[in-house]
Structure 1
Amino acid sequence: MLDVAIEADAEWDSRTGWEELVSRAAQAAVAESAFPQLAAAVRPVELSVRLTSDEEVRILNAQWRRKDKPTNVLSFPMAEAYELEQGDEEGPELLLGDVILAHGVCEREAAEKAVSIEDHAAHLVIHGTLHLLGCDHENDGDAEDMEAREVRALARLGIADPYKVHA
């Protein structure tokens, strides 16, 4: 069973149902990952999502990636590949890791893309969750695979393909 722990700072409008949106996005990402069995595993599976400020993300990005600027999403995986592969077996809770979104960056990018902040945040949660599940975009093949997984996960939520070029 997938449990998504979420914490949102005040600048993330509390009128938006962030808990439901983030949970649905994370579940969609798991379903489209190489480890879809984790969504229905007997073993408890957890990931943490923090919706926070650009400043907090800037600090984390500088500390962990040596890039002193905010970014849209950070992922901090905790599970090893063998743990993901054995995730549906009996055992202690499997902690996938942390996904952290920066509000200002997310809001600016959503405006640039002419999409809602909710849809863009869902995309970023999916992207970050896929990173926790071993996906990457370091080379063209991996990037294409990850993008396809993101598009399929977004479709599960009724969100359009963000990579499709609109004429």
Structure 2
Amino acid sequence: MTVDLTLEDPRWRDLETLADRAIAVTLAHQGLDPETCEISVLGCDDARIAELNSEFRAKPRSTNVLSWPAEDLSADTPGGQPLAPEPDFTGEIALGDIAISYDTCAREADAAGKTMSDHTTHLLVHGLLHLLGYDHIRDPDATLMEGLEIEILGKLGIDNPYTE
């Protein structure tokens, strides 16, 4: 597995470890060989993610995580399975890019009474599922994506993030 990690915010001390683990377990859960997949992860702050959110989504505010899939794998029907990513001629599967904001992640973890590492792991799993074609805009898609997140996080020893 190739995780190209860029740390723009030095507070992300354990992001590499969390990303490697979350990505490997998520890919394996989805039946993908982690050794063939390439993903870029940017650990940044609220100012940087607000710039990215404004530039790519026309939403000039910070957010917790953003994803840019290498290709659109989304399902045509609500609640349907996304397409499987295909390797290129070298056998590698470029999945895309994820950016995660330390500030928003820390605020959300604190507000929810969760550890920073558990919440960060959840957001990395969430972001990777977006790269794999999952979404939560339509209700059936959200149900499918949240169910996968719960299963994957359970494998990582993290409680269901959607229960109060």
TM-score bracket relative to the smaller structure: 0.7 to 0.9
CA–CA distance in structure 2, aligned partners of residues 67 and 86 of structure 1: 31
Partner of 2:52: 60
Deviations for 1:104-156, whole angstroms, at most 9, x for unmatched residues? 10000000110111111100000000000000011111101100111111111
Q: How many residues align?
A: 156
Aligned residues of 1:57 and 1:101 also touching (Cα < 8 A): yes
TM-score by length of 1: 0.84
TM-score by length of 2: 0.86
| RMSD (Å) for aligned C-alpha atoms | 2.1
Partner of 1:94: 93
Change in CA separation of 1:74 and 1:13 when aligned onto 2, cut-off 3 Å? closer
Change in CA separation of 1:119 and 1:136 when aligned onto 2, cut-off 3 Å? same
Listed as ranges, the gaps of 5+ residues in structure 1 are: none
TM-aligned CA deviation for residue 96 of structure 1: 0.6
The 5 A counterparts of 1:147-166 are: 147-165=146-164
Partner of 1:18: 15
Aligned residues of 1:29 and 1:149 also touching (Cα < 8 A): no
TM-aligned CA deviation for residue 92 of structure 1: 4.5
Task: Determine helix, strand or coil for the equivalent of 1:37.
Answer: coil
Listed as ranges, the gaps of 5+ residues in structure 2 are: 74-81
Q: Which shifted more, 116-125 or 3-12?
A: 3-12
Partner of 2:71: 79
Percent of residue pairs identical: 34
